[in-house]
Amino acid sequence: YKMVVGTANEYDMCKSALVRNNVMDFFEDLVTCSMVGCSKERPDIYLLACEKMGLSMEDCVIFEDSYFAINTATKAGFSVIGVYDDTVEENWENICKITDGQVVF
C-alpha cells in the first residue's frame, strides 16, 4: 500500500519525528496544511496526498483522529477510518456513525 502523512503540524517537525521513530520509510511523502494553504476544514490536504500517490480519491482511505477533519473528508467523498485517541472521546459516538470503520489503539 502507498501511504502519505497528512498533518496540520509543520513539515520539519513531523518529518523529524517520523525519522526519529524509524517509520518515515513506510511513507511515500508528507503533506501539511501549510503546503496547501488551509486547515483540514477543507479537503485540500487529502487531495494533495492523493496526487502525491498518483491515486484518485476513490482509491484512497483517510485515517483521521480529528472530528472536524473527519467531517471534512467524509463530506468530500473519501472513505474514512476514525482513529481513537483521548482528544476525540466526547465525539467518538458521532465519529463511529459517520466513518467507514474505526481503529482504537
* Residue 34: closest CA among 70, 10, 69: 10
Q: Is the pLDDT of residue 99 over 90?
A: yes
Whether the model pTM is above 0.85: yes
Q: pLDDT (tens digit, 9 = 90+) per residue, 25-47?
A: 999 999 999 999 999 999 999 99
85 Cβ neighbours under 8 A, 6+ residues apart: 65, 105
Q: For residue 105, what pLDDT band results from cuts at 50, 70 and 90?
A: confident
Per-residue pLDDT of 42-84, as tens digits, reads: 999 999 999 999 999 999 999 999 999 999 999 999 999 999 9
Q: What angle do CA 78, 81, 85 make, to 5 degrees?
A: 135
